[in-house]
Amino acid sequence: MKRETIKQLLIGKLLLTGFLLLAGFPSHLQASGGDDHTHGEEEAPKATAGPAYFSTESSSDRYELLLRYEPIQIGQPSVMTLFVSEYTTNKPVDAATIAVSVREDAALTFSVQQTGEGTYSVEGAFPNDTAYSFLVQINSSLGPDLMVLPNILAGKRLTDEPAHDHHWYNGQAMIWVGLLLALGLGVAGGVLFQQRRTAKGRALMSLILLAVYTVGPIGQIAAHGDEDHGTSVSPQAATGNIVQVPKETQFLFELFTSPLERGGFAESTKLFGTIVPSSDGKAEVTSAQPGQILDVSVFVGQQVKAGQPLAMVEQSVDAGTQVSLAADRNALTAEVAAAQKEVDRLLTIKDIAARKDIDEAEARLQRAQSNLRLLSGNTARTMVLKSPINGVVAPFSLTKGSTVNPGQTLFTITDLSEVYVEAQVYDRDVAALQLSDRYTIECVNDNHKSSLVTLLSMAQEINPSNQTQKVLFALNNPDNEFKIGEFVNIRALSSTPNQDLSLPNSAITEINGKPVVFIKESAEQFSLSYVQLGQNNGTHTRILKGVEEGQRVVVNSSYQIKMIHLNQ
């Protein structure tokens, strides 16, 4: 019986010790799992470097100034960089006249030199360890202005994040202390295990378990695995919607802005159309007689002028036609000879001949000679084919010696400087089309577009297959971007005023399938804003939610700033 009691006592001690170890120490192990401590000869983690420069900025209704400088040595020459841009558009201001003075000490002098587009260097020395302010007198094509750049910190050093302090109660020491404490509690609990059936024993064991579970939160508080070692996150950066873009990067990417205003959106009606030649935009050159090509004077793609020779053709005349032509020529020759003889006779007796008879004889001679010349010209064996319009020679298949037939198209000349657009219009869009005063045309893949469009003719007939009306537009196409047969979209823009907020389509991009825009908050800081879109008229889109009037929205290089945001 005594041996059985000892056995139960040992089992109880082991069970209680294991329970205490499992219950108390995982909290310590898990809480310390994220620590990044130095062990043995491992290199301690380096503190993250802070900003490499100071900056101060100022803005007016014309200019935005950003002064960037490294730590200033008291009494030593310092070179600072001044970025000057237009406030509304963010475009760099070039060739500006700038004078800088110190508000706290008018005796200090600083020189200003332009170093790049919108970039200027400011050089001078500060005598005291204090904060200064620059008075900046600036003049450019935007006009004169006087601005203040405050809080220029002379003598101040850049500070790094303080090193993390490891206390004596952190790390492995706390684990060993906890193990010893748990072992001691386990032995004491084992002694009391045999008294577990008594009220005193149950009370003591409850106290022991309560003490063990109390160690868990203490261990988590003592450990610091989730702390941020060396890098602090600003509240703005934590939101994920702030984008820092250096000023020189903005100038490089031509990152321009525009203030959001009301009333710039025009209602539009979208139509579908096809490019067709204008009235004198396409000409086909044919042969009136059968013949053979003697020479080709042009090549495919050549620009030709009206009247320029294209090819020379030798006509082929059969025997019957030659006999008929010879008979006609002989008859006309005889008529010319007879008329000439009559004129000569009347001239010899002109003193007694009537003037009327002489005039009639001369007129007969002139008609006979003209008919003979005309017949001789039409019976020429060669003829020159000429271009009827200015344009470009389309592809053709003709070589020297080729045979041609009457009515055969030999050359096609196309002039794309002006083309027509046939648009299909449904009844519901006719009224909106008649009220429109501006039109834009764009190709279906949006590679090119034009606003040089005029309404040429309203519908004169209806397509019986789909009951659409055919409306004709004239498109000025000086760069030949639009080609005959190309499908296009036509937008008829209304002149009715409105008070809607809208943005150029270039300002809108997508992140995770959602439309976003970027708003300029300060000289080098932009914020991302998700927006709700309305109607798109081809150039602008109505904005329903997400932006406010007056905000400076990025309207150019939105893709570049999006990539900066995604990679920061």
DSSP of 148-198, one letter per residue? EEEEEEBT----PPPPP---TTSTHHHHHHHHHHHHHHHHHHHHHHTTTTS
List where CATH 2.40.30.170 sits in the chain. 268-279+416-494
317's tokens: 């005349």
Q: Who contacts 107 (Cβ-Cβ below 8 Å, separation ≥6)?
A: none
* CATH 2.40.50.100 given to domain 282-414: yes
Q: Which helix (H) or strand (E) holds 127?
A: none
3-state class (DSSP) for residue 403: strand
3-state class (DSSP) for residue 210: helix
Contact of 259 with 529, CB cutoff 8 Å: no
Strand partners, 412: 284
Dihedral, CA of residue 314, residue 408, residue 421 and residue 417, to nearest 10: -10
Within a 13 Å sphere around the CA of 533, how many CA atoms are in the beta-carbon half?
17
List where CATH 2.60.40.1930 sits in the chain. 54-153
Decide the pairing of beta strands 382-386 and 303-304: unpaired
Dihedral, CA of residue 502, residue 506, residue 507 and residue 513, to nearest 10: 100
Please indicate, yes or no, whether the overall pTM of this predicted structure exceeds 0.75: no
Rounded-to-integer distance, Cα 66 and Cα 56, Å: 6
Span 242-265+499-567 CATH architecture: Beta Barrel (2.40)
3-state class (DSSP) for residue 26: helix
Strand partners, 473: 421, 455
> What pLDDT, on the 0 to 100 scale, is given for residue 144?
95
Contact of 224 with 33, CB cutoff 8 Å: no
Query: Which superfamily does 268-279+416-494 belong to?
Result: Efflux pump adaptor protein, beta barrel domain (2.40.30.170)
Strand partners, 526: 243, 520
Phi, psi of 28 (to 5 degrees): -70, -45
Rounded-to-integer distance, Cα 107 and Cα 124, Å: 12
> What pLDDT, on the 0 to 100 scale, is given for residue 165?
47
Residue 169, sorted as left (phi over 0), alpha (psi -120 to 50) or beta, turns out to be alpha
pLDDT digits (tens, 9 = 90+) for 397-426: 888 888 888 888 899 999 999 999 998 888
Report the helix count and the strand count for the chain, using DSSP H and E.
10, 32
Q: Which helix (H) or strand (E) holds 466?
A: none
Q: Who contacts 484 (Cβ-Cβ below 8 Å, separation ≥6)?
A: 275, 276, 277, 282, 414, 416, 419
Strand partners, 312: 295, 384
Span 54-153 CATH architecture: Sandwich (2.60)
3-state class (DSSP) for residue 131: strand
One pLDDT digit (tens) per residue for the chain, 568 residues = 455 555 555 555 544 455 444 444 444 434 333 444 333 343 333 333 446 789 999 999 999 999 999 999 999 999 999 999 999 999 999 999 999 999 999 899 999 999 999 999 999 999 999 999 999 999 999 999 999 999 999 999 887 444 444 444 455 666 666 667 666 666 566 555 555 555 555 555 555 554 554 444 444 433 343 344 333 333 434 446 899 999 999 999 999 999 988 876 777 778 888 999 998 899 999 887 788 888 999 999 999 999 999 998 887 765 565 666 677 778 888 888 888 888 888 888 877 778 888 888 888 888 888 887 776 665 556 788 899 999 999 999 888 888 888 888 899 999 999 999 998 888 777 877 877 878 888 887 767 888 888 888 887 778 777 778 888 999 999 888 899 999 998 888 776 667 788 888 889 999 999 999 999 999 999 999 999 998 887 778 888 899 999 899 999 999 999 999 998 7
Q: Who contacts 476 (Cβ-Cβ below 8 Å, separation ≥6)?
A: 417, 418, 450, 452, 453
> What pLDDT, on the 0 to 100 scale, is given for residue 221?
37
> What pLDDT, on the 0 to 100 scale, is given for residue 354?
81
Number of other CB atoms surrounding residue 177 within 10 Å: 12
Query: Which is nearest to 483 in space by CA: 524, 536, 454, 441?
Result: 441
pLDDT digits (tens, 9 = 90+) for 333-367: 888 888 888 888 888 887 777 888 888 888 888 88
> What pLDDT, on the 0 to 100 scale, is given for residue 4?
54
86's tokens: 């237009």
Instruction: Tell me how far the alpha carbon of residue 442 is from its chain's centroid.
Output: 16
Rounded-to-integer distance, Cα 315 and Cα 313, Å: 6
Q: Is the dihedral of CA 28, 34, 39, 44 positive or negative?
A: negative
List where CATH 2.40.50.100 sits in the chain. 282-414
